[in-house]
């Protein structure tokens, strides 16, 4: 069994076993506080885990709406008119960007998903991000939705992103928040904590640190949402899919999007969760220096 001997972010050898999270092999750096799997999964482990790793086919109308709200925020950064989504799945986000005139690029590990993206006329590369596939200073925007938690060596990927972005370009990233209320409540039973699927676990502070170390400046960080679906599935009270039309989360999302006072309540809740750093979803906006 191979193990990391030093921190993936700062290089410190002061690694402390995270008590209660032994099943996921978690440790925490005593210097920078980054949490990650000390165990390095073998190629066989990863192949066995991901061979049946499905591609979600459900796209909520509300998710499309959220995508366009994100794209609204990208408009001030549009110069080269090129956007890259790392780990783009079957291209849902890039489809929305393309409708708005962006030249869209994606990377995706799954051969099947990459083929679907190609049929949608997305400039797709199968496999991990490789900076050699792109020109330097090429992109205005690089996005990464729920991907960096799967990555063993975040500094390598961020170095690649840095080299292909223009100065002043924006990276938008989402990942589970290790400091979320649900993780604090459920501890290791929280079903986000899975080996070898998730190998790196971020908090607002450690997300900022890893980007700063890679040549990016924080624009803003938010932590939003509390997933009732994850709460119930983690507790064994439900077997519903995390993303589906019938999930508790989707029902709540639709309810809160119908009335102005519910939208206001959602804003208040998310503002509070961000202030406390306790929302489930960690979202970061970072600008290349």
Per-residue pLDDT reduced to its tens digit, 95-142: 999 999 999 999 999 899 999 999 999 999 999 999 999 999 999 999
What's the pTM value of the predicted model, to 2 decimals? 0.96
Helices (H) and strands (E) in the chain, counts: 10, 13
Structure tokens at 233: 């599935």
Task: Give the pLDDT of residue 49.
Answer: 84
Q: Which of 15-24, 39-48, 72-81, 229-238 has the lowest mean pLDDT?
A: 39-48
Q: Which residues pair with 172 in a beta bridge?
A: 143, 285
Q: What is the DSSP letter of 100?
A: T
Dmax (CA) of the chain:
54
**Closest by CA position to 219, among listed 181, 258, 183, 173:** 173
Task: Give the pLDDT of residue 54.
Answer: 60
Measure the CA–CA gap between 215 and 204, rounded to whole angstroms: 17
CA angle, 31 then 34 then 38, to 5°: 105
The CATH number of the domain holding residue 127 is 3.40.50.150
CB 143 within 8 A of CB 84: yes
Where residue 55 falls among pLDDT bands split at 50, 70, 90? Answer: low
Query: In the chain, how many domains are there?
Result: 1
Domain that holds residue 231: 2-52+59-288
Where residue 1 falls among pLDDT bands split at 50, 70, 90? Answer: confident
Residue 266, pLDDT > 90, answer yes
Task: Give the pLDDT of residue 4.
Answer: 97
**Closest by CA position to 170, among listed 108, 218, 232:** 218
């Amino acid at each position: 069994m191979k193990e990391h001997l030093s921190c993936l972010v700062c290089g410190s050898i002061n690694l402390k076993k995270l008590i209660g999270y032994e099943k996921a092999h978690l440790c925490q750096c005593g210097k920078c506080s980054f949490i990650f799997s000390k165990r390095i999964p073998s190629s066989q482990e990863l192949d066995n885990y991901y061979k049946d790793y499905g591609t979600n086919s459900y796209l909520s109308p509300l998710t499309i709406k959220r995508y366009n709200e994100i794209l609204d925020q990208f408009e001030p950064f549009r110069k080269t008119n090129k956007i890259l989504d790392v780990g783009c799945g079957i291209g849902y986000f890039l489809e929305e960007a393309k409708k708005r005139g962006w030249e869209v690029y994606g990377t995706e590990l799954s051969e099947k998903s990459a083929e679907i993206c190609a049929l949608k006329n997305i400039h797709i590369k199968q496999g991990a991000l490789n900076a050699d596939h792109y020109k330097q200073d090429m992109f205005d925007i690089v996005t990464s939705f729920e991907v960096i938690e799967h990555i063993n060596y975040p500094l390598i990927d961020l170095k690649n992103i840095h080299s292909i972005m223009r100065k002043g370009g924006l990276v938008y990233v989402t990942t589970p928040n290790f400091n979320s209320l649900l993780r604090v409540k459920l501890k290791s039973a929280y079903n986000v904590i899975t080996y070898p699927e998730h190998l790196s676990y971020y908090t607002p502070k450690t997300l900022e640190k890893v980007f700063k170390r890679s040549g990016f400046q924080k624009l803003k960080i938010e932590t939003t949402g509390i997933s009732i679906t994850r709460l119930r599935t983690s507790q064994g009270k439900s077997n519903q899919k995390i993303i589906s039309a019938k999930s508790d989360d989707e029902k709540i999302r639709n309810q809160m999007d119908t009335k102005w006072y519910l939208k206001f309540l959602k804003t208040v809740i998310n503002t509070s969760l961000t202030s406390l750093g306790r929302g489930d979803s960690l979202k970061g906006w970072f600008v290349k220096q």
